[in-house]
Amino acid sequence: MHGAVLQKIDLWLRAHEEELIENTCKLLRYPSIEMPAESGAPFGRPVKDALDFMLDLSRSNGMKIRNIENYVGWAEFGEGKPLIMSLGHLDVVPVGPGWKHDPFGAAIDNGYIYARGAVDDKGPTMASFYAMRAIKECLGPINVRFRSVFGCNEESGFKCVEKYNQEDEAPTFGIAPDSDWPLVHAEKGIADFDISAPLIKGELELLSIEGGDRTNIVIDKCRAVLSIEETGKTLLEELMNDHWDKNIDIEWLDDRKFIVTSYGKAAHGSTPYYGDSAAIRLFKFLKEICPVTQAEQYTHLLDLCDISGSGMGIQGNDDLSRLTSNVGIIKSNESDIIFTMNIRYPVTWSGSDIKTKCEKYLSNHYLGYKLNCIRDSKPLYFSQEDPMVKAILSAYEYQAGGKSKPKVMGGGTYARAVPNTVSIGTGWEGDGEPHETDERIRAKNLRRLSMYYAHILINLAYLALENKK
């Protein structure tokens, strides 16, 4: 349909490929993890610096820009009422241990760029920006505006898009390059539950516990301090010596008090089965070494962390999706353990319903456990027959050379917070997983991403013009 324009865009992107890779690496070198707010930087200085970089790059390439109080910024070109938007984010999750390259060094190794944010979401955001640049240079006059949005708080609150929605206009059609191909037409609901459980007293006493930085990351290190009565110490040491899990370390502090540290593997909270929860490892260990009289109490802690949600009584599925649960943060105070559970629930369910089910289950099965729902983001759903869905799918199939179907996912993107928007893919096989150690993207895939994005944006632009007639 737009063959000549697509050919021109392809040639333009090929001519600017080295520049695209170079600017992606520059952006990845900003350590844009959310930090405490400071003057003019609501999410910390590194995030603001990354935003400044993108806005300066946009201005230097002839685009109109707007910075909304350093919460979010955008670059735009074109004229007319229809607005076609791409929403990416510049903030990233913490890095965790075990990286083979500097997580903010953007080293290129065997054709891959290694950095936090390579696939989530700085790499795709830059690729989308270059798609916009290519359209600007190659499409010619069209009565549509194209806008590239740079969010700053996607990973920990969506305050950036909340600010955008308060201050600016919704798109006619939008994409969030932050998920899977060909597009995601349904995103599961996301609820964060804080559950408090009493610290365990008795022969094996749990004094404190801590693990995790963000609710949407599988815990890769967890640490607990315990004490044992003298009568049980000999048996405990025998059990420790025979324990099978080599990812558990023990350190004695004195004759009765000791530290247990467990190690796992980080993964995105929407797919906890791809990770290895250090919290689950720790509770399995404590369940094995505890006296028989305390087995039920330690079993409850382990069951609570089950990724199906069965330990909270909320497991289940609908025709499109299944509930998953990730214990993202564990901490304790003088009397309680506080679990922050990141729950991804089916697209036809409601957060209030699972909250009620969880409260009922806890009261019936666990003594002293309490629930506080601290956040609930409703599911997103578009029919596969929706014209926007069809336009995106058409562009993807043209570029990929084959048929495909929209997907459902547990991750949450800007699409659920901005009207008329769905999320789309960020890479291909071989590219790293979001939130994991050694996150990476193949350098050559950046140009390919830009080409896919450009075609999708053009299809949406013409759909907007057709709807206007």
Give the 3-state secondary structure of residue 390: helix
Active site residue 154: yes
C-alpha to C-alpha distance for 267 and 217, rounded to whole angstroms: 6
> Which candidate in 34, 154, 155, 187 is catalytic?
154
What is the distance of C-alpha 362 from the center of its chain?
28
17-28 and 122-138 helices, crossing angle to 10°: 140
Counts of helices then strands in the chain (DSSP H, E): 11, 20
What is the distance of C-alpha 80 from the center of its chain?
34
**Which H helix or E strand runs over 297?**
helix 295-304
Active site residue 220: no
Buried/exposed 264-302: b ≥16 CB within 10 Å, e otherwise? bbbbbbbbbeebbbbbbbbbbbbbebbbeebeebbbbbb
Residue type, 25: C
C-alpha to C-alpha distance for 250 and 262, rounded to whole angstroms: 9
Q: Are 161 and 419 in contact (CB under 8 A)?
A: no
> Which candidate in 34, 91, 120, 439 is catalytic?
91
Strands 83-89 and 173-179: parallel
- Would you please indicate which residues are annotated as catalytic (active-site) residues? 91, 154
